[in-house]
Structure 1
Amino acid sequence: MNLTEQVLHVLDNALSLQGRTAGFTRDTPLLGALPELDSMAVLALLTGLENHFGITFSDDDLRGTVFATVGSLSALVEQGLARQDP
């Protein structure tokens, strides 16, 4: 599974989308397009991503644009992983 597929897996689980992410691409809109993605779901999603990838997001990482698309959410994870590399 590549990084975007892993992000989609976490997204599907966190929002209980029951496999709906199977048709999502990096350009698929999230915030405002998925009614399931409310403030509580954002917290569940962030926790799921942190646990799955073993990373931690700072408050500075979390702008509204991060949740615009699957690609922008994947980029957030990529940045978190890059910070961990020695």
Structure 2
Amino acid sequence: MEVQQQIAQILDEVLSLKGRSATFSASTPLLGAVPELDSMAVVAVISELEERLGIEVADDEIDGQVFETFGSLCAFAEGKLAA
């Protein structure tokens, strides 16, 4: 499964979006635009990313820019996979 599809699935499951993530494009805003994405949800999303993608995310790597758009979150995860 492609990384973007996995991330969309993670967002859908963690945030209970009921399939809304299937319409996300790279420019879809997340933080501040998806009401379900609060600070606790960010932690849950990161935990799922780590578990499902096999990556490690340090606390100091996460800021608002990572969760700004669906594309920025995907790019972050893809960068971690390439490292």
Normalised by the size of structure 1, how large is the TM-score?
A: 0.90
Q: Which residue in 2 is equivalent to 1:41?
A: 41
Query: 2:59 and 2:35 mapped to 1: Cα distance?
Result: 24
Q: Percent identity?
A: 52
1:62 is matched with 62
Q: Is the 8 A contact 1:4 1:74 kept in 2?
A: yes
d(CA) in 2 for partners of 1:51, 1:13:
14
Deviation of 1:75 after TM superposition, in Å, equals 1.0
CA distance in 2, matches of 1:3, 1:48: 13
* SS of equivalent residue, structure 1 residue 57: coil
- After TM superposition, the structure 1 = structure 2 runs for residues 15-26 of structure 1, keeping only pairs within 5 Å, are 15-26=15-26
Shift of 1:11: 0.8
Unaligned segments of structure 1, at least 5 residues? none
Deviation at 1:55, TM superposition (A): 0.6
Looking at structure 2, the residues matched to 59 and 22 of structure 1 have their Cα atoms a distance apart, in angstroms, of 28
Structure 2: distance between partners of 1:79 and 1:65: 14
Structure 2 gaps of 5+ residues are none
TM-score (norm 2): 0.93
Superposition RMSD on alpha carbons, in Å? 0.9
Does the residue aligned with 2:7 lie in a helix, a strand or coil?
Answer: helix
1:29 aligns with 2:36: no
Matched length: 83
C-alpha deviation, 1:67, in angstroms: 0.3
The letter of the residue matching 1:49 is: L
Cα distance, 1:60 vs structure 2: 2.9
